[in-house]
Amino acid sequence: MSSVRGEFSSRFGFIMAAAGSAVGLGNIWGFPTQTASNGGAAFVLVYLVLAFCLAYPALMAELVIGRHGQANAVSSLKKIAPNQPKAAFVVGFGGIICAGLILSFYAIVAGWMLSATLSPIAEISQLSATATWLNTQSLGRDLIFTAIFIMMTIAIISKGVENGIEKWSKRLMPALLGILAALIAYVLTQDGAEAGLKAYLVPDFSQILNPDLLVSALGQAFFSLSLGTSVMIIYGSYISKQENLVSLGAYVTLIDVLIAFVAGLLIIPAMYVAQEQGVQIFSETGALLSEDTLVFQVLPALFNSMGDIGYLVALAFFALMSIAALTSSISMLEAPVSYTVENFGMNRLQATWIIGGLISIISFVIVFNFSTLFGFVISLTTQFGQPLIGMLCCIFVGWMWSRHKLLTEIQMGYGDVEHSVFWKIWPWYIKFVCPIAIALVFFNSL
Ligand code: PFF
């Protein structure tokens, strides 16, 4: 067992790393696409409510488990429920497996982004249909770029918490914000952008209680905050006892939601601009024709229409996607690596290469059996694994831990938490509201 654990060196470092995990393809691709296919602004509204009222409390549960345990997910859960070592193992290890499996498909998509960043614009615009993009001819490219992306992730994680995760998150997250702002400024000046803004910001209230919309919004919020994967437990374990967990968790949620919202300001208007330019994005009823249209049709069409500058904008956009994916993928790799290092006493470099290698093999198997496995692994992890494990983490904190010990942990770095609004609401939330709401959504998605 290694005795020297890493720790984030600063508050800013933690926020960038955890927000880096949260902000990813889920925000820039997933959220706007879900918004466009679920009735526009109504989805945005429901998402905001669920993110703050359900995902934030669940995030706090995972962070507090880790900060208390100061160890990998399995050991941290065992510390909370010493009488339930098997349950702690199942939940912690389940989360770790979930993180590894998510990385195995996420790396493939991130590889597409990476290859698009590096390929000339002419080639991107030929890839106007998902079918073309995913045909056998791109098998070699998928394999190579998936491998390159996983190697980049390995390179960062092998350097540890402060010199790897924290250092790179602090560099990459501001770069991401800059690129996003520049792209929005461009798109909003184009014809058609106004109609897009309206669809994005003016809700159709009749849609709000639609059960499909609720299921999609909660699933999206869980994926976006990286819940149910042990990732936030392990990131929580690197937070010093002097920090105020409640506000750190709130910052991470706020940044995640804000970036998803801002990405929508780019992507939804871009869809309408592309439609204006003759690309078929929506059907006659106003429904999104395909969820894949966004990256494979809308954006390439938009970049093409820009003339010479289009190449640069495409480069910026795909670089943005690759960066967002990288700060998320490092967190997914850290979950199994920290477990292996601490449980088997392996050194970090070895552990990172072994786990990274295993995940690459799973990714390659998915690439070779794309039509059967890709969708299956996504559903298995995001529709089943994440909600289930997220719910179990809430149950661990709410039901298996003494309220007094929980209070002591939250109080560190906070002060008088006992009289705060947070403490009046959150423990009840974790005990009842979160597990029940998550279970409802979970069974609904079955
Ligand atoms: N939150 C990331 C995104 O929105 O793209 C995805 C993610 C990261 C999911 C880490 C799960 C995870 F453990």
Least confident among 127-141, 190-204, 227-241, 350-364: 127-141
Look at residue 131 in the predicted model and tell me its pLDDT. Answer: 39
| Signed CA dihedral, 262, 268, 271, 277: sign only | negative
Mean pLDDT of 159-174: 86
Whose tokens are 């429920």? That residue is 81
Atom of ligand 1 nearest to the CA of 223: 9
- Rounded Cα gap, residues 417 and 410, in angstroms: 7
Looking at ligand 1, which residue's alpha carbon is closest to its atom 11?
Answer: 226
CA of 21 to the centre of ligand 1 (A): 6
The pLDDT of residue 91 is above 90: yes
Q: Count, in order, helices (H) and strands (E) of the chain.
A: 24, 0
Q: How far is the CA of 31 from the centre of ligand 1 (A)?
A: 12
Asked if the structure places residue 341 within a domain, the reply is yes
* Residue 159 lies inside a defined structural domain of this protein: yes
CA 331 to ligand 1 centroid distance, Å = 8
Q: Taking the CB of residue 374, how many other CB atoms lie within 10 A of it?
A: 17
Q: What is the pLDDT of residue 45?
A: 93
Pocket test for ligand 1, best of 153, 165, 331, 380 (most atoms within 8 A of CB): 331
Residue nearest to atom 10 of ligand 1 (CA): 226
Atom 9 in ligand 1: residue holding the nearest Cα: 226
Domain count, the chain: 1
φ, ψ at 288 (rounded to 5°)? -70, 130
CA of 24 to the centre of ligand 1 (A): 6
**Does residue 6 lie within any of the structural domains?**
no
Question: 99 CA distance to ligand 1 centroid (A)?
Answer: 8
Residue 98 CA, closest ligand 1 atom number: 13
The rounded Å distance from CA 310 to ligand 1 centre is 29
Residue 398 lies in a domain: yes
In this predicted structure, the answer to whether residue 89 has a pLDDT above a threshold of 90 is yes
- What pLDDT does residue 4 have? 60
The pLDDT mean for the chain works out to 88
CATH number of the domain residue 249 falls in: 1.10.4160
Predicted confidence (pLDDT) at residue 320 exceeds the cutoff of 90: no
Q: What pLDDT sits at residue 290? A: 66
Look up residue 414 and give its DSSP letter. T
pLDDT for 134 beyond 90: no
Return all residues near 333 (Cβ < 8 A) that are at least 6 apart. Answer: 99, 103, 153, 154, 157, 352, 355, 356, 359
Side chain identity, residue 242? Q
Compute the distance from residue 349 Cα to the ligand 1 centre, in Å.
Answer: 23
Our mutation pick for probing the ligand 1 site, out of 224, 232, 333, counting the most ligand atoms within 8 A of Cβ, is 224
Q: What is the C-alpha separation between 345 and 315, in angstroms, rounded?
A: 42
Ligand 1 atom index nearest CA of 25: 5
Mean pLDDT for 185-210 is 85
Please name the residue that has the structure tokens 């909370």: 80
Q: Is residue 23 domain-resident? A: yes
**Interval between CA 118 and ligand 1 midpoint (Å):** 24
The pLDDT assigned to 183 comes to: 85
- Ligand 1 pocket test: pick from 29, 169, 223, 229 the residue with the most ligand atoms within 8 Å of its Cβ: 223
Radius of gyration of the chain, Cα coordinates, nearest whole angstrom? 21
On the question of pLDDT at 123 being above 70, the answer is: no
Tell me whether residue 414 is in a domain: yes
Q: Report which of residues 274 and 439 the model is more confident about.
A: 439
The number of residues making up the chain comes to 446
Quick check: 129 pLDDT over 70?
Answer: no
Compute, in angstroms, the gap from residue 225 CA to the centroid of ligand 1. Answer: 6
Structural domain contains residue 2 = no
For the cut 70, the answer to whether the pLDDT of residue 119 exceeds it is no
* CA 266 – ligand 1 centroid, Å: 20
**Are 104 and 356 within 8 A, CB to CB?**
no
Residue 53 and residue 46 in contact, taking contact as beta carbons nearer than 8 Å:
no
Instruction: Please state the pTM of the whole predicted model.
Output: 0.91
Residue at 1 is within a domain: no
User: Which structural domain range is residue 373 located in?
Assistant: 11-445
User: What interface predicted TM-score (ipTM) does this complex get?
Assistant: 0.99
Percent of the chain scored above 90 by pLDDT? 55
Q: Ligand 1, from 31, 108, 226: best to mutate by most atoms within 8 Å of Cβ?
A: 226
pLDDT band per the 50, 70, 90 thresholds, residue 399: very high
At 237-259, the pLDDT tens digits run: 999 999 999 999 999 999 999 99
For the CA of 228, the nearest atom of ligand 1: 13
CB-based burial, 31-52: b 16+ in 10 Å, e otherwise: bbbbbbbbbbbbbbbbbeebbe
Query: Is pLDDT at 423 greater than 90 in this prediction?
Result: yes
Each residue's pLDDT tens digit, 47-56: 999 999 999 9
What lines the ligand 1 site, CB under 6 Å? 21-22, 24-27, 99, 102, 223-224, 226, 229, 231, 328, 331-332
SS3 70: coil
